[in-house]
Every structure is written in C-alpha cells, then in structure tokens.
Amino acid sequence: MIDWASITGFQWDEANVTKNHDKHGIACLEAESVFLSPDLRVLQDPKHSTSHESRWHAFGTSAAARPLSVSFTVRHPLIRIISARPLNARERKSHGYPKN
C-alpha cells in the first residue's frame, strides 16, 4: 500500500523524460497531474515488481484532459515515474473512459 501522505514530489530519469515526450507527446507536468485527478485509479503491477521494489500503474485524466496511464514506483518520499502514455482502447473501456 502507498502512504500518499508521505509523498513529497516526483523523480524522473532523464532518458524517460525524453522518451515519454518524443514517443507519446506527454510532458513531465502532464504525467504528474494524473496523480491529482479525481478519477485516479492505482493498481499494483506484480508482473514488473521485484522483491525490492513494487511497481504500480496510475490511470487518470491529466490536467490537459487526456486519459493517461502512468507506470511508477515509490522511492520515498518521491514517486519515480517510469513511463506515461495515453490509454489504449482496452484500458479506456476497462476503466470507463469514452472512446476517443
């Protein structure tokens, strides 16, 4: 479980900043804004978690009104974003977002 009250900010790997922007057109601030979304859903990602670090998926609407998927881990007190991308059709349907 994530202790949201202890989170103080975000951390990015420089390569992921460039990758997310170039591949998906998503800037850091837009990806971070998903965590403030009233429709935020967070699910654990056991497939990519290890015994040392849990991985998570956040699904929510960004400040730019785009439904996004953000993969992340928590390295207290920061959220380290791994990737951010628009939701695919299956995710939109599964999480109740309208078709685009």
pTM given for the model: 0.89
Total structural domains within the chain: 1
The domain containing residue 69 runs over which residues?
9-85
**In the structure, what pLDDT confidence band is assigned to residue 6 with cuts at 50, 70 and 90?**
very high
64, part of any domain: yes
A 10 A CB-CB count for 13 gives 11
Q: pLDDT digits over 14-48, tens only?
A: 888 888 888 999 999 999 999 999 999 999 999 99
| DSSP annotation string for 24-38 | H---HHHHHHGGG-T
What value does the mean pLDDT take over residues 57-66? Answer: 95
Please report the pLDDT score of residue 35 as a whole number: 97
74, part of any domain: yes
What value does the mean pLDDT take over residues 86-95? Answer: 85
100, part of any domain: no
